[in-house]
């Protein structure tokens, strides 16, 4: 297999994987590897706080904790440039579009993970951060508008008196 087209690096959430050269759409990047757990074992691991579980089917969950599983370092995004695909009981991370060098490679972990593990309001992906920044700007702007309005209301009677 050729050298990986991505490397481990610092991201906002800790570590992440970044493209080191242009990568074409639909490129298979890595396999999500680890011991296979039964449903019962997976539930136990989840209760212990394991955040690297990938449920392939009802009785087949990959425990992606081991360090050799490079795919565990792909971060979640609500606007991802890669996806996970299941093929014959195995899981691969594959690009959704062309990726430029330097771009962080992400995939969508799914609604359950976002809701239960990350927390919708705490997601640090670029789309969620942009949305939160926009909302904060709008809140600040509407506060300014509110202040301007009340200043005018106070100004009118004074103007009449003078
Ligand atoms: Zn997000």
Residue located via tokens 């959430």:
13
C-alpha closest to that of 58 among 44, 37, 87 = 37
pLDDT score of 135 = 93
CA 52–ligand 1 middle distance (angstroms): 18
CA 23–ligand 1 middle distance (angstroms): 23
CA 39–ligand 1 middle distance (angstroms): 28
CA 159–ligand 1 middle distance (angstroms): 51
Q: State how far the Cα of 85 lies from the Cα of 42, in Å rounded to an integer.
A: 20
> Would you mind telling me the total number of residues written for the chain in this entry?
162
Determine the CATH number of domain 6-122: 2.170.270.10
**β partners of residue 15:** 10
pLDDT score of 115 = 84
**162 to 26, 65, 155, 159: CA distances (angstroms):** 73, 75, 11, 5
pLDDT tens series, the chain, 162 aa: 458 999 999 998 789 999 999 999 999 999 999 999 999 999 999 999 999 999 999 899 999 999 999 999 999 999 999 999 999 999 999 999 999 999 999 999 988 888 888 888 889 998 999 999 999 999 999 888 887 766 665 555 544 444
CA 42–ligand 1 middle distance (angstroms): 25
């Amino acid at each position: 297999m050729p050298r990986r087209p991505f490397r481990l690096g610092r991201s906002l959430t800790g570590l992440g994987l970044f493209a080191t050269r242009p990568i074409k759409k639909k490129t298979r990047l890595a396999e999500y590897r680890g011991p296979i757990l039964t449903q019962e074992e997976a539930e136990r691991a989840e209760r212990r706080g394991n955040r690297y579980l990938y449920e392939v089917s009802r009785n087949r969950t990959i425990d992606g904790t081991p360090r050799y599983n490079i795919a565990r370092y792909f971060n979640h995004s609500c606007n991802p440039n890669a996806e996970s695909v299941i093929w014959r009981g195995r899981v691969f991370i594959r690009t959704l579009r062309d990726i430029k060098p330097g771009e962080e490679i992400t995939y969508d972990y799914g609604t359950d993970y976002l809701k239960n593990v990350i927390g919708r309001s705490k997601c640090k992906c670029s789309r969620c951060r942009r949305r939160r920044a926009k909302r904060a700007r709008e809140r600040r702007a509407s506060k300014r508008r509110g202040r301007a309005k009340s200043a005018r209301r106070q100004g009118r009677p004074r103007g009449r008196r003078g």
